[in-house]
Chain A
Amino acid sequence: MTSMSMSMTADGHVAPHAVAEAAPAAPAVAQTPEPAPAEPAGRRGEVMRGFMLRVVAAAAGIGGLLAVWLAVSTHVPELPGPGVTWQAALELFADPFYNNGPNDMGIGWNVLYSLKRVGIDFGLAAAVGIPLGFIIGRFRFFNIAAEPVVSLLRPVSPLAWLPIGLLVFKDADMAAMWVIFICSIWPMIINTAAGVRAVPQDYMNVARVLALSEWKVVTKILFPAVLPHILTGVRLAVGTAWLVIVAAEMLTGGIGIGFWVWDEWNNLKVEHIIIAIFLIGVVGLALEYALLWIARRASHGATIN
Chain B
Amino acid sequence: MNAPIVKIEQAGMAFDTNKGRFVALRDIDLNIHKGEFVSLIGHSGCGKSTLLNLIAGLNLPTAGVCLCNGREIAGPGPERAVVFQNHSLLPWMTCFENVYLAVERVFAAKESRSELRARTRAALEMVHMDHAMNKYPHEISGGMKQRVGIARAFSMEPQVLLMDEPFGALDALTRASLQDELMGVMAKTGATVVMVTHDVDEAVLLSDRVVMMTNGPAATIGEILEVRLDKPRDRLKLAHDSRFAAYRAAILEFLYQKQMKKAA
Binding between chains A and B = yes
B75 near A28 with CB under 8 A, answer no
A25 near B142 with CB under 8 A, answer yes
A301 near B91 with CB under 8 A, answer yes
Q: Is the interface of B mostly helix, strand, loop or mixed?
A: loop
Q: Is B58 an interface residue (CB 8 A)?
A: yes
Q: Is A90 an interface residue (CB 8 A)?
A: no
- Taking the closest CB of chain B, its distance from the CB of A112, in whole angstroms, is 35
A23–B146 CA distance with the chains assembled, in angstroms: 12
B170 near A22 with CB under 8 A, answer no
A27–B173 CA distance with the chains assembled, in angstroms: 9
B87 near A301 with CB under 8 A, answer no
Q: Is A19 an interface residue (CB 8 A)?
A: yes
A194–B180 CA distance with the chains assembled, in angstroms: 42
Query: Which chain A positions have C-beta within 8 A of B85?
Result: 22
Tell me how many residues of A have a C-beta within 8 Å of chain B: 29
Given A28-B143, A29-B173, A29-B174, check contact A208 B88 (CB 8 Å).
no
Query: Which chain A positions have C-beta within 8 A of B145?
Result: 25
Query: Which chain A positions have C-beta within 8 A of B86?
Result: 21-22, 202
Query: Which chain B positions have C-beta within 8 A of A36?
Result: none
A27 near B142 with CB under 8 A, answer yes
Q: Is A170 an interface residue (CB 8 A)?
A: no
In B128-164, the 8 Å CB interface with A consists of 136-139, 141-145, 156
Query: Which chain A positions have C-beta within 8 A of B77?
Result: 209, 211
Tell me how many residues of B have a C-beta within 8 Å of chain A: 37
A27–B102 CA distance with the chains assembled, in angstroms: 26
Which of A24, A208, A220 is within 8 Å of B76, CB to CB?
A208
Which of B87, B139, B143 is within 8 Å of A27, CB to CB?
B143
B143 near A19 with CB under 8 A, answer no
A202 near B84 with CB under 8 A, answer yes
In B177-224, the 8 Å CB interface with A consists of 177
Query: Which chain B positions have C-beta within 8 A of A216?
Result: 101, 105
In A1-40, the 8 Å CB interface with B consists of 19, 21-29
B91 near A300 with CB under 8 A, answer yes
B101 near A22 with CB under 8 A, answer no
A225–B170 CA distance with the chains assembled, in angstroms: 25
B170 near A209 with CB under 8 A, answer no
Which of A23, A29, A220 is within 8 Å of B101, CB to CB?
A220
B92 near A210 with CB under 8 A, answer no
A25 near B169 with CB under 8 A, answer yes
A22–B76 CA distance with the chains assembled, in angstroms: 22
- Taking the closest CB of chain A, its distance from the CB of B73, in whole angstroms, is 12
Given A22-B169, A28-B144, A302-B92, check contact A208 B105 (CB 8 Å).
no
B139 near A24 with CB under 8 A, answer no
A302 near B84 with CB under 8 A, answer no
A23–B91 CA distance with the chains assembled, in angstroms: 14
A209–B79 CA distance with the chains assembled, in angstroms: 9
Residue of A nearest to B77 (CB): A211
Query: Which chain A positions have C-beta within 8 A of B81?
Result: 209
Q: Is A205 an interface residue (CB 8 A)?
A: yes
- Taking the closest CB of chain B, its distance from the CB of A102, in whole angstroms, is 47
Q: Is B123 an interface residue (CB 8 A)?
A: no
Q: Is B82 an interface residue (CB 8 A)?
A: yes
A25 near B105 with CB under 8 A, answer no
B141 near A26 with CB under 8 A, answer yes
Which of A19, A23, A27 is within 8 Å of B171, CB to CB?
A27
A205–B88 CA distance with the chains assembled, in angstroms: 9
A-B contact pairs, 10 of them (CB 8 A): A22-B169, A25-B142, A27-B173, A28-B170, A206-B84, A209-B82, A211-B75, A212-B105, A216-B105, A300-B138
In the complex, besides A210-B105, A220-B101, 18 extra interface pairs with C-beta distance below 8 angstroms are: A21-B87, A24-B171, A25-B141, A27-B142, A27-B143, A27-B170, A27-B173, A29-B174, A202-B88, A205-B84, A208-B58, A209-B58, A209-B80, A210-B78, A211-B76, A212-B101, A300-B136, A300-B138
Chain B residues close to A by CB (< 8 Å): 56, 58, 75-78, 80-82, 84-88, 90-93, 101-102, 105, 136-139, 141-145, 156, 169-171, 173-174, 177
